[in-house]
Structure 1
Amino acid sequence: MTVHEGEQHTPNLGQRLNWLRAGVLGANDGIVSVASLLVGVAGATTDNAALLTAGIAGLVGGAISMALGEYVSVSSQRDSERALIAKESEELRTMPQEELDELTALYRERGLTVETARRVAEELTAHDALSAHLEVELGIDQDDLVNPWHAALSSAMAFTLGALLPLLAILLPPPGWRVPVTFVAVLLALALTGAVAARIGGSSPGRASLRLVAGGALALLATWLIGTLLGTTGVV
């Protein structure tokens, strides 16, 4: 069997880093989406009940949406991994010699000599042929497949934690300070999470933070202006 299109190498460490990065991005989504909603409402009214209702609705709806999206995405990934495992098992059953040759070739590509690669392939095949092929060829650990429920829960929690910041920032200060305090709190939080996400991904923290802060500021300003305009014209 050759390495087919779509069979990607995904080490466990890479998966864990991806989950961490997804958590940071989920928190960012909670911060920006709920903050934008609340600032828009605050531009139209200073009523605490309206702000609280909008904030809770945005938090709950966003968390459920994030969890559902993550569940569907990770479920698809897990189905793909299971299909690859089943396919590899069938090929090991029907063409064991070809699979042994392939495993030898994979170790040769990693720099081993022909003799050493063959010996390693034979010993691993004798011990657990399926695990050997899944690890070396596909980067899959059949005992550590992604869990869609864990992903959904993590995503919902990350979004909720992020959303709590603008909710508290808009409700706790006096009416005249709500929007400025929310702007400052949100932009500082975005700068921090942008830097964390960049560190995880090995990119520039400054550039990542700047992008998030600029995007967040634009979203907040746009929704605040819309809320102010609608509130002034008496539409709401």
Structure 2
Amino acid sequence: MTEPAHGEAHGERLGARLNWLRAAVLGANDGIVSTAGLVVGVAGATDSRAALLTAGLAGLLAGSMSMAAGEYVSVSTQRDSERAALALERRELRESPEAELDELTRMLADRGLSRDVAREAAEQLTERDALRAHARVELGIDPDQLTNPWHAAWASFLAFTVGALLPLLAIVLPPADWRLGVTVGSVLSALILTGWSSARLGAAGPGRAVARNLAGGALAMGVTYAAGTLLGAVGV
């Protein structure tokens, strides 16, 4: 029973890493699209580098802080739920150990083990660490690796910031005549990369993901640029 448990743990850790990578790619994608839409919209109204830099930095900070706060709240709620589930499991093990042993046996048998092998495995796992066994098999939780809201918040903050820096730098660094073209080209290239990466991390074909990414980014920039141009024309 040792090898399957080790393999399962390894697979879960790999899955968790892939989920973090996918979340980082999506966070960067959000930073690219939202900041690009903002600065391109402002570029439609003015060619002032100071205005573009101010708008871009404001969007970067607001977006990254919003992402971090949202992720912190979400993951904190998840961790609270995990802790509550572990506390309930701990109480059930204390009050009804035989019923919990039968339950663990049944769950292992449902995974394909024979009844006798499942019973033996359940007894060995219970003797070694009953709470960990039930947490892993029944709840899908590792008691030693509960989700950390601060890690999630910082990861979201950094991913969004990295993504947002691309359109911000692309709009303020080139000469005025080149800004829009450089920004649009840089953003669409980056969206191809993030769309491809998210698809590959999810073991899906990249074609549709890239197309959706490009369409969403182009639409965001087109709408905000049109709005900015209109507002600039009427002198707002």
Superposition TM-score tier, normalisation by shorter sequence: over 0.9
Q: How does 1:11-160 map to 2 (within 5 A)?
A: 11-160=12-161
Measured against aligned partners, the alpha-carbon deviations of 1:203-226 in whole angstroms (never above 9, x if no partner) come to: 111110100100100000000111
Could you tell me how far 1:174 is from its partner in structure 2? 1.1
Could you tell me how far 1:13 is from its partner in structure 2? 3.3
Could you tell me how far 1:39 is from its partner in structure 2? 0.3
Which residue pairs with 1:217 in the alignment? 218
For structure 2, list consecutive stretches of 5 or more residues without a partner in the other structure. 1-10
Moved more, 135-144 or 11-20: 11-20
- Pairing 1:164–2:147 present: no
Q: What stretches of structure 1 move > 4 A for 4+ residues in a row?
A: none
RMSD between superposed Cα atoms in Å = 1.1
Measured against aligned partners, the alpha-carbon deviations of 1:57-106 in whole angstroms (never above 9, x if no partner) come to: 11111110000000000000000000100010011011110100011111
Distance 1:11 1:99 in 2: 24
| Matched letter for residue 227 of structure 1 | G
TM-score, normalisation: structure 2: 0.93
- Taking only the aligned residue pairs, the percentage that are identical comes to 64
Measured against aligned partners, the alpha-carbon deviations of 1:149-180 in whole angstroms (never above 9, x if no partner) come to: 00000000000000000011101111111111
Distance 2:164 2:36 in 1: 7
SS at match of 2:174: coil
For structure 1, list consecutive stretches of 5 or more residues without a partner in the other structure. 1-9
Could you tell me how far 1:115 is from its partner in structure 2? 1.1
Distance 2:37 2:112 in 1: 53
How many residue pairs get matched? 226
| Matched letter for residue 54 of structure 1 | A
TM-score, normalisation: structure 1: 0.93
Q: How does 1:189-228 map to 2 (within 5 A)?
A: 189-228=190-229
Which residue pairs with 1:7 in the alignment? none
Distance 1:150 1:212 in 2: 27
Could you tell me how far 1:11 is from its partner in structure 2? 3.8
CA contact (8 A) 1:11 1:139 kept: no
Measured against aligned partners, the alpha-carbon deviations of 1:125-147 in whole angstroms (never above 9, x if no partner) come to: 01100000101111100000000
Pair 1:165–1:223, CA change in 2 (3 A): same
